[in-house]
């Protein structure tokens, strides 16, 4: 199902250096009835096209976002966040934008971070830009246990991908044309975040990290990854390394 793509912008405008840059934002969503409309309304303040990939929410999210000028895609079975991004990427390629952004639906990400996220691509300093909670200018507050888990994940990612980032799994990222033409996601679930790093190295893409603001709420924390999810991701990474 698809909603009209003509968007009336109600708020922020691009920095002059970004004028005439076409941007598509992919928002994978599963049962995000509480947050999804507010997230989309914030994104629609910018001159972007928005693709919502509903990964078989029950009930479907369409009635919640009806009337918003976004593209709405629905999975008939639950396939995972990685698969939702695959669907969104395939659809976005038909739009043929300059930049594709991935943006979570749970309200953690800030729309104000989008412009600094894409600037390294505009300046041709990077092919892909990854958001980070751990760079000096990021004010994100994390619990001590969460920091330990994410720091451990950094080194696990480094072991498998050869890329040592400051943030292991951050869903806010921007892909320039060279990146989105080459990166292929095949991991259906959360291991897709590490798979993107494999693709960066495989295709010799230039990458950068920028500080981003992550807004944690009780709701978003409840939707976050558990320790069990982390074990599943590690298992998926091992299989990826062995057989691909």
Distance CA 32, CA 36 (A): 5
pLDDT in the model for residue 236: 53
**What mean pLDDT do residues 14-26 have?**
88
> Which of 214, 24, 6 has its CA nearest to residue 118?
24
Q: Is 54 exposed, middle or buried (0-12, 13-18, 19+ CB in 10 A)?
A: buried
pLDDT in the model for residue 129: 98
Distance CA 30, CA 57 (A): 5
**What mean pLDDT do residues 85-107 have?**
97
pLDDT in the model for residue 116: 94
pLDDT digits (tens, 9 = 90+) for 63-91: 999 999 999 999 999 999 999 999 999 99
pLDDT in the model for residue 68: 97
Distance CA 54, CA 56 (A): 6
Per-residue pLDDT at 142 exceeds 70: no
pLDDT in the model for residue 141: 62
pLDDT in the model for residue 8: 37
**Cβ partners under 8 Å of residue 174, min gap 6:** 99, 100, 101, 114, 117, 118, 121, 128, 129
Domain ranges of the chain: 20-243
pLDDT digits (tens, 9 = 90+) for 200-211: 999 999 999 999
**What mean pLDDT do residues 19-27 have?**
94
Mean of pLDDT over the chain: 83
Instruction: Strand 71-74: give its sheet, edge to edge.
Output: 71-74, 49-54, 23-29, 99-102, 173-176, 128-132, 207-211
Of the options 3.40.1080.10, 3.90.550.10, 1.10.10.10, 3.90.190.10, the CATH number for the domain spanning 20-243: 3.90.550.10
Task: Give the H or E element holding residue 72.
Answer: strand 71-74
**What mean pLDDT do residues 131-160 have?**
71
Share of the chain above pLDDT 70, in %: 77
Instruction: Give the pLDDT band (50/70/90) at residue 122.
Output: very high
**Tokens at 188, concatenated:** 């259906």
Per-residue pLDDT at 140 exceeds 90: no
**What mean pLDDT do residues 6-17 have?**
60
**What mean pLDDT do residues 84-113 have?**
96
CB 56 within 8 A of CB 75: yes
* Better-predicted residue by pLDDT, 63 or 217: 63
pLDDT in the model for residue 193: 85
Per-residue pLDDT at 3 exceeds 80: no
């Amino acid at each position: 199902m698809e909603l009209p793509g003509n968007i009336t912008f109600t708020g922020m405008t691009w920095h002059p250096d970004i004028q005439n840059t076409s941007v598509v934002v992919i928002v994978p969503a599963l049962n995000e009835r509480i947050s999804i409309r507010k997230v989309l309304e914030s994104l629609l303040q910018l001159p972007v096209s928005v693709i919502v990939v509903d990964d078989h929410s029950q009930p479907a999210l369409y009635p919640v976002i009806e009337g918003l000028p976004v593209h709405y895609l629905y999975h008939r079975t639950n396939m995972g966040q990685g698969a939702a991004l695959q669907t969104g990427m395939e659809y976005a390629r038909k739009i043929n934008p300059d930049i594709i952004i991935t943006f979570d639906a749970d309200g953690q990400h800030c729309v104000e971070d989008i412009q600094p996220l894409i600037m390294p691509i505009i300046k041709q300093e990077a092919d892909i830009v990854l958001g980070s909670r751990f760079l000096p200018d990021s004010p994100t507050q994390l619990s001590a246990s969460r920091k330990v888990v994410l720091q451990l994940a950094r080194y696990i990612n480094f072991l498998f991908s050869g890329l040592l980032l400051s943030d292991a799994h951050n869903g806010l990222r921007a892909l320039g044309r060279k990146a989105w033409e080459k990166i292929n996601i095949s991991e259906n679930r959360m291991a897709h975040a590490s798979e993107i790093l494999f693709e960066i190295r495989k295709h010799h893409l230039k990458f950068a990290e920028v500080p981003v603001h992550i807004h944690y709420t009780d709701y978003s924390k409840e939707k976050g990854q558990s320790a069990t999810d982390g074990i599943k991701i590690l298992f998926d990474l091992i299989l990826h390394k062995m057989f691909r």
